[in-house]
Protein backbone atom coordinates (compact mmCIF):
# COMPACT_ATOMS: atom_id res chain seq x y z
CA UNK A 1 0.00 0.00 0.00
CA UNK A 2 2.83 2.37 0.89
CA UNK A 3 4.49 1.74 -2.49
CA UNK A 4 1.17 2.40 -4.20
CA UNK A 5 0.78 5.69 -2.36
CA UNK A 6 4.28 6.69 -3.41
CA UNK A 7 3.54 5.73 -6.99
CA UNK A 8 0.30 7.67 -7.26
CA UNK A 9 1.90 11.15 -7.42
CA UNK A 10 4.20 9.97 -10.18
CA UNK A 11 1.29 8.59 -12.18
CA UNK A 12 -0.69 11.75 -11.60
CA UNK A 13 2.23 13.92 -12.75
CA UNK A 14 2.70 11.80 -15.88
CA UNK A 15 -1.01 12.03 -16.69
CA UNK A 16 -1.03 15.79 -16.27
CA UNK A 17 2.11 16.13 -18.36
CA UNK A 18 0.62 13.95 -21.11
CA UNK A 19 -2.63 15.89 -21.09
CA UNK A 20 -0.76 19.19 -21.31
CA UNK A 21 1.38 17.90 -24.18
CA UNK A 22 -1.57 16.66 -26.25
CA UNK A 23 -3.62 19.79 -25.61
CA UNK A 24 -0.82 22.29 -26.23
CA UNK A 25 -0.27 23.89 -29.61
CA UNK A 26 1.58 22.13 -32.43
CA UNK A 27 4.39 24.37 -33.74
CA UNK A 28 5.25 24.03 -37.44
CA UNK A 29 8.51 25.24 -38.92
CA UNK A 30 7.40 25.87 -42.51
CA UNK A 31 9.20 23.94 -45.25
CA UNK A 32 8.28 23.34 -48.88
CA UNK A 33 8.11 19.54 -49.13
CA UNK A 34 5.39 18.65 -51.66
CA UNK A 35 4.34 15.02 -51.95
CA UNK A 36 3.99 15.45 -55.73
CA UNK A 37 7.25 16.48 -57.47
CA UNK A 38 7.39 19.98 -58.94
CA UNK A 39 7.92 18.63 -62.44
CA UNK A 40 4.79 16.48 -62.19
CA UNK A 41 2.64 19.46 -61.20
CA UNK A 42 4.35 21.87 -63.62
CA UNK A 43 1.71 23.54 -65.83
CA UNK A 44 2.22 23.76 -69.58
CA UNK A 45 3.02 27.42 -70.22
CA UNK A 46 2.12 29.08 -73.53
CA UNK A 47 4.93 30.79 -75.42
CA UNK A 48 3.92 34.27 -74.25
CA UNK A 49 4.27 33.26 -70.60
CA UNK A 50 7.56 31.47 -71.09
CA UNK A 51 9.14 34.17 -73.23
CA UNK A 52 7.99 37.35 -71.50
CA UNK A 53 9.19 38.21 -68.01
CA UNK A 54 6.96 39.10 -65.08
CA UNK A 55 7.32 40.76 -61.71
CA UNK A 56 5.79 38.63 -58.95
CA UNK A 57 4.40 40.33 -55.85
CA UNK A 58 2.89 38.45 -52.89
CA UNK A 59 0.84 40.07 -50.12
CA UNK A 60 -0.93 38.72 -47.03
CA UNK A 61 -4.72 39.22 -47.09
CA UNK A 62 -5.67 36.71 -44.37
CA UNK A 63 -7.77 37.82 -41.43
CA UNK A 64 -6.96 37.07 -37.80
CA UNK A 65 -3.78 35.77 -36.20
CA UNK A 66 -1.17 35.59 -39.01
CA UNK A 67 0.71 32.76 -37.28
CA UNK A 68 -2.31 30.50 -36.75
CA UNK A 69 -2.45 27.77 -39.40
CA UNK A 70 -5.37 25.71 -38.10
CA UNK A 71 -6.37 23.22 -35.44
CA UNK A 72 -6.04 19.56 -34.61
CA UNK A 73 -7.89 17.11 -32.37
CA UNK A 74 -6.61 14.81 -29.64
CA UNK A 75 -7.83 11.33 -28.72
CA UNK A 76 -10.49 12.96 -26.54
CA UNK A 77 -11.56 15.23 -29.47
CA UNK A 78 -10.29 18.32 -27.70
CA UNK A 79 -8.88 20.80 -30.20
CA UNK A 80 -5.43 22.37 -30.12
CA UNK A 81 -3.98 25.15 -32.31
CA UNK A 82 -1.46 24.52 -35.09
CA UNK A 83 0.83 27.53 -35.35
CA UNK A 84 3.67 28.58 -37.64
CA UNK A 85 7.10 29.09 -36.18
CA UNK A 86 8.04 31.31 -39.12
CA UNK A 87 6.72 34.36 -40.97
CA UNK A 88 4.00 32.80 -43.15
CA UNK A 89 3.91 35.42 -45.90
CA UNK A 90 7.70 35.45 -46.12
CA UNK A 91 7.67 31.69 -46.59
CA UNK A 92 4.91 31.85 -49.23
CA UNK A 93 6.66 34.67 -51.09
CA UNK A 94 10.01 32.85 -51.22
CA UNK A 95 8.36 29.55 -52.15
CA UNK A 96 6.30 30.98 -55.02
CA UNK A 97 9.30 32.82 -56.47
CA UNK A 98 11.32 29.58 -56.40
CA UNK A 99 8.48 27.54 -57.91
CA UNK A 100 7.85 30.14 -60.62
CA UNK A 101 11.46 29.97 -61.80
CA UNK A 102 11.53 26.17 -61.70
CA UNK A 103 8.35 26.10 -63.79
CA UNK A 104 9.95 28.26 -66.47
CA UNK A 105 8.80 31.81 -65.70
CA UNK A 106 11.34 34.61 -66.04
CA UNK A 107 11.10 36.92 -63.03
CA UNK A 108 12.19 40.52 -63.42
CA UNK A 109 11.44 43.50 -61.17
CA UNK A 110 11.34 45.69 -64.29
CA UNK A 111 9.10 43.44 -66.40
CA UNK A 112 6.16 44.80 -68.42
CA UNK A 113 3.79 42.40 -66.63
CA UNK A 114 3.12 42.38 -62.87
CA UNK A 115 1.38 39.42 -61.23
CA UNK A 116 0.03 40.43 -57.82
CA UNK A 117 -0.97 37.56 -55.55
CA UNK A 118 -3.00 37.97 -52.35
CA UNK A 119 -2.86 35.08 -49.89
CA UNK A 120 -6.40 34.88 -48.52
CA UNK A 121 -6.19 31.42 -46.92
CA UNK A 122 -3.35 29.13 -45.84
CA UNK A 123 -4.63 26.53 -43.41
CA UNK A 124 -4.23 22.97 -42.22
CA UNK A 125 -6.48 20.83 -40.03
CA UNK A 126 -5.71 17.51 -38.36
CA UNK A 127 -8.54 15.09 -37.65
CA UNK A 128 -7.44 12.47 -35.13
CA UNK A 129 -8.44 8.88 -35.91
CA UNK A 130 -8.19 5.64 -33.89
CA UNK A 131 -4.85 5.13 -35.61
CA UNK A 132 -3.05 8.19 -36.94
CA UNK A 133 -4.68 11.33 -38.33
CA UNK A 134 -6.11 12.76 -41.55
CA UNK A 135 -4.61 16.11 -42.64
CA UNK A 136 -6.39 18.61 -44.89
CA UNK A 137 -4.80 21.82 -46.15
CA UNK A 138 -6.15 24.65 -48.28
CA UNK A 139 -4.45 27.60 -49.98
CA UNK A 140 -6.28 30.43 -51.72
CA UNK A 141 -4.70 33.09 -53.90
CA UNK A 142 -6.39 36.15 -55.29
CA UNK A 143 -4.60 37.41 -58.39
CA UNK A 144 -4.38 40.58 -60.46
CA UNK A 145 -2.27 40.76 -63.63
CA UNK A 146 -1.39 44.29 -64.72
CA UNK A 147 0.84 45.95 -67.25
CA UNK A 148 3.76 48.08 -66.12
CA UNK A 149 1.49 51.13 -66.01
CA UNK A 150 -0.92 49.46 -63.59
CA UNK A 151 -3.70 48.72 -66.09
CA UNK A 152 -5.58 45.60 -64.98
CA UNK A 153 -5.41 42.85 -67.60
CA UNK A 154 -6.90 39.94 -65.63
CA UNK A 155 -8.08 39.22 -62.11
CA UNK A 156 -9.68 36.43 -60.16
CA UNK A 157 -8.90 33.78 -57.55
CA UNK A 158 -7.59 30.23 -57.43
CA UNK A 159 -7.30 27.61 -54.72
CA UNK A 160 -5.60 24.34 -53.94
CA UNK A 161 -6.57 21.55 -51.54
CA UNK A 162 -4.52 18.60 -50.31
CA UNK A 163 -5.21 15.58 -48.09
CA UNK A 164 -3.14 12.81 -46.60
CA UNK A 165 -3.22 10.19 -43.89
CA UNK A 166 -0.36 10.41 -41.42
CA UNK A 167 0.84 10.33 -37.86
CA UNK A 168 -0.88 12.19 -35.04
CA UNK A 169 0.47 15.67 -34.26
CA UNK A 170 2.96 15.52 -37.14
CA UNK A 171 4.80 18.67 -38.19
CA UNK A 172 6.06 16.83 -41.30
CA UNK A 173 2.55 15.88 -42.42
CA UNK A 174 1.37 19.47 -41.92
CA UNK A 175 4.17 20.73 -44.15
CA UNK A 176 3.42 18.15 -46.83
CA UNK A 177 -0.24 19.05 -47.28
CA UNK A 178 0.41 22.80 -46.98
CA UNK A 179 3.07 22.49 -49.71
CA UNK A 180 0.77 20.53 -52.00
CA UNK A 181 -2.12 22.97 -51.52
CA UNK A 182 0.07 26.03 -52.19
CA UNK A 183 1.62 24.39 -55.25
CA UNK A 184 -1.82 23.52 -56.67
CA UNK A 185 -3.21 27.01 -56.04
CA UNK A 186 -0.29 28.64 -57.86
CA UNK A 187 -0.60 26.19 -60.77
CA UNK A 188 -4.29 27.09 -61.02
CA UNK A 189 -3.41 30.79 -61.20
CA UNK A 190 -1.00 30.16 -64.08
CA UNK A 191 -3.47 27.95 -65.96
CA UNK A 192 -6.38 30.37 -65.55
CA UNK A 193 -7.67 31.24 -69.03
CA UNK A 194 -7.89 34.95 -68.15
CA UNK A 195 -4.25 35.08 -67.08
CA UNK A 196 -3.02 33.16 -70.12
CA UNK A 197 -4.98 35.32 -72.53
CA UNK A 198 -3.94 38.61 -70.92
CA UNK A 199 -0.27 37.67 -70.45
CA UNK A 200 0.43 38.01 -74.16
CA UNK A 201 -2.20 40.70 -74.74
CA UNK A 202 -0.68 43.84 -76.15
CA UNK A 203 1.98 41.98 -78.08
CA UNK A 204 -0.01 42.26 -81.29
CA UNK A 205 -0.91 45.85 -80.41
CA UNK A 206 2.77 46.69 -80.04
CA UNK A 207 3.55 44.96 -83.33
CA UNK A 208 0.84 46.93 -85.12
CA UNK A 209 2.01 50.19 -83.53
CA UNK A 210 5.58 49.43 -84.57
CA UNK A 211 4.48 48.64 -88.14
CA UNK A 212 2.51 51.90 -88.35
CA UNK A 213 5.48 53.85 -87.03
CA UNK A 214 7.73 52.33 -89.69
CA UNK A 215 5.21 53.21 -92.39
CA UNK A 216 4.96 56.82 -91.19
CA UNK A 217 8.73 57.18 -91.09
CA UNK A 218 9.04 55.79 -94.61
CA UNK A 219 6.41 58.24 -95.91
CA UNK A 220 8.16 61.09 -94.11
CA UNK A 221 11.50 60.06 -95.63
CA UNK A 222 9.89 59.93 -99.07
CA UNK A 223 8.48 63.45 -98.68
CA UNK A 224 11.88 64.76 -97.67
CA UNK A 225 13.67 63.07 -100.59
CA UNK A 226 11.14 64.61 -102.98
CA UNK A 227 11.88 68.01 -101.38
CA UNK A 228 8.25 68.46 -100.40
CA UNK A 229 9.28 69.36 -96.82
CA UNK A 230 12.29 71.15 -95.37
CA UNK A 231 14.99 69.56 -93.23
CA UNK A 232 13.65 71.28 -90.13
CA UNK A 233 10.11 70.04 -90.84
CA UNK A 234 11.46 66.54 -91.42
CA UNK A 235 13.38 66.47 -88.12
CA UNK A 236 10.46 67.91 -86.16
CA UNK A 237 7.93 65.43 -87.57
CA UNK A 238 10.31 62.50 -87.13
CA UNK A 239 10.78 63.35 -83.44
CA UNK A 240 6.97 63.50 -82.97
CA UNK A 241 6.53 60.05 -84.53
CA UNK A 242 9.24 58.49 -82.36
CA UNK A 243 7.79 60.03 -79.21
CA UNK A 244 4.56 58.16 -79.93
CA UNK A 245 6.24 54.75 -79.60
DSSP lists the bridge partners of residue 53 as none
Shared domain check, 188 and 217: no
Shared domain check, 95 and 179: yes
Query: Per-residue pLDDT averaged across 211-232, rounded?
Result: 80
Q: What is the dihedral of CA 15, 19, 20, 22, to 10 degrees?
A: 140
Residue 51: predicted pLDDT: 80
Shared domain check, 211 and 183: no
Query: Per-residue pLDDT averaged across 224-230, rounded?
Result: 81
Shared domain check, 225 and 145: no
Q: Which of 125, 122, 116, 117 is nearest to 62 (CA)?
A: 122
Higher pLDDT among residues 129 and 216, named by residue: 129
Shared domain check, 83 and 168: yes
Does the structure show a pLDDT above 90 at 40?
A: no
Tens-place pLDDT, residues 18-30? 444 445 899 999 9
What is the domain extent for residue 212? 203-243
φ, ψ of residue 163 in degrees (nearest 5):
-135, 155
Task: State what percent of residues in the chain have pLDDT above 70.
Answer: 84
Query: Per-residue pLDDT averaged across 59-74, rounded?
Result: 95
Shared domain check, 212 and 92: no
Contacts with 85 (C-beta within 8 Å, 6 or more apart), sequence order: 27, 28, 29, 30
Does the structure show a pLDDT above 50 at 5?
A: no
d(CA 210, CA 212): 5
pLDDT range class, residue 75, cuts 50, 70, 90: confident
Contacts with 68 (C-beta within 8 Å, 6 or more apart), sequence order: 81, 82, 83, 84
Query: Per-residue pLDDT averaged across 95-117, rounded?
Result: 94
Q: Is residue 17 part of a domain?
A: no
Q: Name the least confident of 40-54, 95-109, 174-188.
A: 40-54
**145 with 193: CB under 8 angstroms?**
no
Residue 14: predicted pLDDT: 39
Q: Name the least confident of 66-70, 82-86, 91-95, 109-113.
A: 109-113
Tens-place pLDDT, residues 166-215? 999 999 999 999 999 999 999 999 999 999 988 876 555 555 566 677 88
Higher pLDDT among residues 174 and 147, named by residue: 174
Task: Kindly give the residue spans of alpha helices, DSSP state H, lying in 47-162.
Answer: 47-51, 88-102
Q: Where are the beta strands (DSSP E) in the chain?
A: 26-28, 55-60, 68-73, 79-84, 113-128, 133-147, 152-166
Query: Per-residue pLDDT averaged across 227-232, rounded?
Result: 82
Shared domain check, 218 and 183: no
Residue 175: predicted pLDDT: 97
Residue 205: predicted pLDDT: 55
**CATH number where 186 lies:** 3.40.50.10610
Amino acid sequence: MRKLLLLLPCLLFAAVAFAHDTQSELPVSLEFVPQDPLELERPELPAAMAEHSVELRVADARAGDPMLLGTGTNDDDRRFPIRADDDVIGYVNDTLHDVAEKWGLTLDRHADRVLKLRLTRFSVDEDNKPVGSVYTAEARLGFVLTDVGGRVLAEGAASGVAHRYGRARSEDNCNEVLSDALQEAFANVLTDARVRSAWGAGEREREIRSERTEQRLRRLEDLYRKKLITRDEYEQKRAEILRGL
